Amino acid sequence: MSEQNIYILGIESSCDDTAAAVIHNGKILSNVIANQKIHEEYGGVVPELASRAHQQNIVPVVSQALSRANINKNQLHAIAFTRGPGLMGSLLVGTSFAKSLAYGLNIPLIDVNHMQAHILAHFIDEEGFNKPPFPFLGMTISGGHTQIVKVSSYFDMKVIGETIDDAVGEAFDKSGKILGLGYPAGPVIDKLAKLGNPKAFKFTKPKVDGLNFSFSGLKTAILYFIQSETKANPSFIEENLNDICASIQHTIIEILIDKLKLASKQTGIKHIAIGGGVSANSGIRQALKDGEHKFGWTTYVPKFEFTTDNAAMIAIVGYLKFLEGNFSKQDITASARLKI
């Protein structure tokens, strides 16, 4: 078997997206995602509904990933799947499916840590996107995660900072809920923020030592601020929505950039790679670009479809582990709190 001709199927089912992707060597041939709309009605992910939807989606999603890649299952060299962290019911669907498929095809099974995968998504071969050199700092920001990781090699990673309560995406989503913006609110806040004044309102930034984050206090500060302003003026939100969104986003960006500055200072590392759904935020992207001039950083943002929860990132980790012969046994189990 030549190293030049390896096909791996990646399966992701840790939260509310059922996803499958095929990678050929380091290049993605297909990347299919079934988003679960059902959760929008509830303003957040409902675990039991998520696992049921995964069960319905997984066979069609995997079939589509294979057909879009123009291969059949017998051409696969290995099956990679998300072992954790995530919702247990959701993880179980992907884990059981991957185990059965690998067993049925008699090919290696490869377990993948979802948090490592967000970072290693930067190593997918994609025209126009550079790969960060080791060591670099990886910052994963999404609705479920907020972490800064020191990455010394593909599988030598150390979490040096993380949230002690809400994730940064939750800060966007919960603020949006207070403002009546629907779920998920991040993209809407991003859009409205472009039309507003980021300095119109000031929210106190949390004081958390070292490289850890906290976002639950910010959400409470916003709630109290909105309650008190709407008491005085019931149309306060309508009249000031763009400025409120711009000010919230500005505060969140400052919190993230302050910690990145500290992480870069402490480690001496200036290569910074971000991932997770919140990295789509235009303000964060601009602040990172500014960091290149202000602090001498080189920043990396992957292609959008490899940034939100996806299976391409699981497939690239599968490929990297395949090259090392790092396979899992059939008795491996899903792990909801798997650490990096």
36 binds, among Zn ion, ligand KG4, none (CB under 5 to 8 A by kind): none
Site for ligand KG4, residues 2 to 21, rule: CB under 6 A: 15
- What tokens were used for 77? 């060299």
Question: What is the rounded end-to-end Cα distance, in angstroms, of the chain?
Answer: 31
Residue (of 47, 16, 8, 52) closest to 34 by Cα position:
16
Q: Which residues pair with 291 in a beta bridge?
A: none
Site for ligand KG4, residues 180 to 239, rule: CB under 6 A: 184-187, 190
Site for Zn ion, rule CB under 5 A: 142, 309
Taking the least distance from each CB to ligand KG4, the nearer of 108 and 144 is 144
Do 148 and 137 contact (CB within 8 A), yes or no?
A: yes
Site for ligand KG4, residues 113 to 142, rule: CB under 6 A: 142
Q: Which stretch binds ligand KG4 (CB under 6 A): 28-36, 76-84, 152-160, 274-282?
A: 274-282
Q: Does 144 bind ligand KG4 (CB under 6 A)?
A: yes
Q: Which residue is nearest to Zn ion (CB)?
A: 309
278 binds, among ligand KG4, Zn ion, none (CB under 5 to 8 A by kind): ligand KG4
Question: What SS3 string covers 271-338?
Answer: EEEEECHHHHCHHHHHHHHHHHHHHCCEEECCCHHHCCCCCHHHHHHHHHHHHHCCCECCCCCCCCCC
Cβ neighbours around 40 below 10 Å, total: 12
Number of residues that bind ligand KG4 (CB under 6 A): 19
The H or E element spanning position 113 is strand 109-113
Task: Indicate which single residue of 84, 161, 196, 277 sits in contact with ligand KG4 (rule: CB under 6 A).
Answer: 277
- What tokens were used for 287? 């602040």
Task: Indicate which single residue of 10, 108, 143, 196 sits in contact with ligand KG4 (rule: CB under 6 A).
Answer: 143
**At residue 68, what is the residue type?**
R
Q: Which residues pair with 11 in a beta bridge?
A: 20, 81
Distance in Å, CB of 276 to ligand KG4, minimum: 5
172 binds, among Zn ion, ligand KG4, none (CB under 5 to 8 A by kind): ligand KG4
95 binds, among Zn ion, ligand KG4, none (CB under 5 to 8 A by kind): none
Taking the least distance from each CB to ligand KG4, the nearer of 66 and 124 is 124
Q: Does 280 bind ligand KG4 (CB under 6 A)?
A: yes
Q: Does 44 bind ligand KG4 (CB under 6 A)?
A: no
C-alpha span between 284 and 320 (Å, rounded): 29
- What tokens were used for 240? 């000031």
Taking the least distance from each CB to ligand KG4, the nearer of 118 and 321 is 118
Taking the least distance from each CB to ligand KG4, the nearer of 107 and 189 is 189
If you compute the radius of gyration of the chain from its CA atoms, what whole number of angstroms results?
A: 21
161 binds, among ligand KG4, Zn ion, none (CB under 5 to 8 A by kind): none
The H or E element spanning position 158 is strand 156-162
Compose the 290-329 pattern: x for residues touching ligand KG4 by CB under 6 A, - for all others.
------------------xx--------------------
90 binds, among ligand KG4, Zn ion, none (CB under 5 to 8 A by kind): none
332 binds, among ligand KG4, Zn ion, none (CB under 5 to 8 A by kind): none
The H or E element spanning position 151 is strand 146-153
- What tokens were used for 168? 């940064």
**At residue 110, what is the residue type?**
I
C-alpha span between 249 and 135 (Å, rounded): 29
Return residues touching ligand KG4 (CB under 6 A).
Answer: 15, 142-144, 169, 172-173, 184-187, 190, 276-278, 280-281, 308-309
